[in-house]
Amino acid sequence: MLGILNGRVYDPANGVDGQVQDIWVQDGRIVAADQVPNREAAEIFDAAGLVVMPGGVDIHSHIAGSKVNAGRRMCPEDHRADTGAQNGVTRSGGGHSVPTTFATGYHYLEMGYTTVMEAAMPPLLARHTHEEMNDVPLLDKGAYTLMGNNRFLLGCLGHRQKAKARDFAAWLLEASRGYAIKIVNPGGVENWKAGKRETDLDDPVLGWDATPREIILALADISTELGLPHGPHLHVNRLGQAGNASTTIRTIEALDGRRTHLAHLQFASYGGGGRHPLRSAAAEVAAAVNANHNVTADIGQVVFGPTTTMTADGPLEHTLHQLSGSKWLNNDVEEETGGGVVPMNHARRNTVSALQWCIGMELFLSLEDPWRTFLTTDHPNGGPFTAYPEIIHCLMDREFRSQMLSSLPDKAQSRCGLAGLQREYSLQEIVIITRAGTARALGLANKGHLGVGADADIAVYAPQLNWSMMFRRARLVVKGGRVVVRDGQVVAVCPGHTLCVTPGWDEGILPSLREHFEQHYTVGFDNYAVQDDYVPYCEVIRCK
Ligand SMILES: [Zn+2]
């Protein structure tokens, strides 16, 4: 039993905006004051003068699995840059942009985050992803299952077998213990395997009777039909390329009301291209998102400094390798997806990096609905998640932001509309874009708020003039009812849950799946699905 008393509470899902309230916790849940039978026996934390909010919920981050681990192996320099030491409760571990599993859990918790979604899980490599997620202490986690380039699915779509495609998607979510459908450069990764570098929305997928548009619409419909708590999580075609805003806007139009989450929108909001230099198209993309209430988006803000890029978008990483000259890893995943890793330095004096920073900020300030706009860096692509406090400071403090802008190359400043945007985020809006809104978009009814019955995931901060300082280290973090962080230090460790869905599917699909595996996979069908042992802390979130 725990009472957090007299704090200024920010709980936008329940309409609480800084009022002084008491929060009571029992058996891992928030309870009403009059439901606490023996308040004298409760542990009390006096939060007078402090800010209380739900634990952070990160909707898009790469924290576990084969490509994250490849990034760790590839970049020993990243680990030398940031070492960690055990303190009797924590284990050793470090890493700046690709931290070890343990350090990932500790650093998120120290900032007050309690739930993080791994944004791209190749189903064939799901065991690795779950083993690492189990290794990440404290956080609740879920993983999005990659499907946008799956050859079995492409076969179903080519033969116009909609019901079979739906049953396959449902089976694959269960087999991989995934949480949502992930689509990365649909058709484009398959085309990359055949040597084609760029694939737009209506280009053919080579060897299949399907286009990216058809893949996206089919998976969006399937998400709805299966009642998945989170809509399809879409990394659009032509991500990272000059002039890709037109593809992004056409994709939003094509969705035509279908619920969809657009991942790391900053990387999809570029003008220019051809003989024209890169420029911001944030205003045009933001207008499309503002007008289409079926769409949510996380930003994928770039922050300056060294990082490691990693994505299932194999051709994109090849392009980054060619542009940067950095070392590169390509990892095509059999019948399913691809992937690549390239270390990168987002240098402040580099026009492209500076412009990417501006475009992310411009999107944050131009997207009108905070309930559909979420804070991410697409960790570690735009930069490590540990930079979130600095981004919050930029959003809340116009003066600080304009100082940052004025330090950037003139070409970056002149090719975006950031200088004309005066908006400052309120603290309540920050709570929405980092926890209340993300929890809602993920369909996590017990997270992102502090109402009775919610999971007791709570973050308490000491207000400071510098917002970055405030959000860097939480004064107190409660996870599932347990105090796990005090004064920015992890003081207790426990495993987090793995969030999964079990949408159900028709067994009639099994014979053709078995045949497909026997013909094309290096893994036997009976060995493919992730066994229970790999998800010991599984929590099934109900489909509608
Ligand atoms: Zn990502």
- What would the DSSP string read from start to end of 237-275? TTTTSTTTHHHHHHHHHHHTT--EEE--GGGG-EEEETT
CA of 504 to the centre of ligand 1 (A): 27
CA distances from 81 to 77, 84, 243, 305 (A): 6, 10, 35, 12
List alpha helices for 43-161, DSSP H.
66-74, 76-80, 101-110, 126-135, 151-158
CA of 257 to the centre of ligand 1 (A): 24
CA of 470 to the centre of ligand 1 (A): 26
Instruction: State which amino acid sits at residue 489.
Output: Q
β-bridge mates for residue 186, sequence order: none
Q: Is 360 within 8 Å of 382 (Cβ atoms)? A: yes
Token output for 461: 């901060």
State CA 420 to chain mean position distance. Answer: 29
CA distances from 25 to 102, 109, 355, 481 (A): 27, 19, 45, 6
| pLDDT less than 50: residues of the chain | none
User: CA 167, 126, 385, 24 torsion: positive or negative?
Assistant: positive
CA of 213 to the centre of ligand 1 (A): 20
Question: For residues 118 and 247, what is the distance between their CA atoms, to the nearest angstrom?
Answer: 25
Per the listing, tokens 């999809």 go with: 268
Closest to 330 in 3D by CA, of 535, 192, 219: 192
Instruction: State which amino acid sits at residue 419.
Output: A
Q: Output the pLDDT for position 504.
A: 95
CA of 134 to the centre of ligand 1 (A): 20
CA of 361 to the centre of ligand 1 (A): 18
Q: Quick one: 348 exposed, middle or buried, by C-beta within 10 A (0-12, 13-18, 19+)? A: middle
* Helix (H/G/I), strand (E/B), else coil: 218: helix
Q: Output the pLDDT for position 86.
A: 78
Q: Is 335 within 8 Å of 521 (Cβ atoms)? A: yes
CA distances from 425 to 179, 363, 443, 470 (A): 30, 13, 24, 15
pTM of the complete model beyond 0.95: yes
Per the listing, tokens 């003008």 go with: 271
Per the listing, tokens 């800010």 go with: 51
Question: For residues 4 and 460, what is the distance between their CA atoms, to the nearest angstrom?
Answer: 9
CA of 233 to the centre of ligand 1 (A): 10
CA distances from 112 to 31, 51, 57, 134 (A): 20, 12, 9, 19
List alpha helices for 299-425, DSSP H.
314-324, 351-366, 388-396, 398-406, 410-414
- Other C-beta atoms within 10 Å of 37: how many? 9
Q: Output the pLDDT for position 185.
A: 98
Q: Output the pLDDT for position 142.
A: 98
Closest to 452 in 3D by CA, of 35, 19, 21: 35
CA of 152 to the centre of ligand 1 (A): 23
- Phi then psi for residue 344, to 5 deg, are -150, 145
CA of 119 to the centre of ligand 1 (A): 6
CA of 184 to the centre of ligand 1 (A): 9
CA of 308 to the centre of ligand 1 (A): 12
Question: For residues 477 and 108, what is the distance between their CA atoms, to the nearest angstrom?
Answer: 11
CA of 160 to the centre of ligand 1 (A): 30
CA of 309 to the centre of ligand 1 (A): 9
Residues lining ligand 1 (ion), CB within 5 A? 119, 378
What is the DSSP code (8-state) at residue 178? Answer: -
CA of 284 to the centre of ligand 1 (A): 22
CA of 97 to the centre of ligand 1 (A): 14
CA of 495 to the centre of ligand 1 (A): 24
Per the listing, tokens 């908006």 go with: 423
State CA 536 to chain mean position distance. Answer: 23
Closest to 189 in 3D by CA, of 170, 208, 217, 162: 208
Would you kindly state where each structural domain of the chain is located, as residue ranges?
Answer: 56-448
Q: Quick one: 324 exposed, middle or buried, by C-beta within 10 A (0-12, 13-18, 19+)? A: middle
Q: Is 308 within 8 Å of 71 (Cβ atoms)? A: yes
State CA 41 to chain mean position distance. Answer: 39
CA of 526 to the centre of ligand 1 (A): 30
Question: For residues 359 and 368, what is the distance between their CA atoms, to the nearest angstrom?
Answer: 15
Q: Is 409 within 8 Å of 100 (Cβ atoms)? A: no
CA of 180 to the centre of ligand 1 (A): 14
Architecture of the domain spanning 56-448: Alpha-Beta Barrel (3.20)
326-373 tens-digit pLDDT: 999 999 999 999 999 999 999 999 999 999 999 999 999 999 999 999
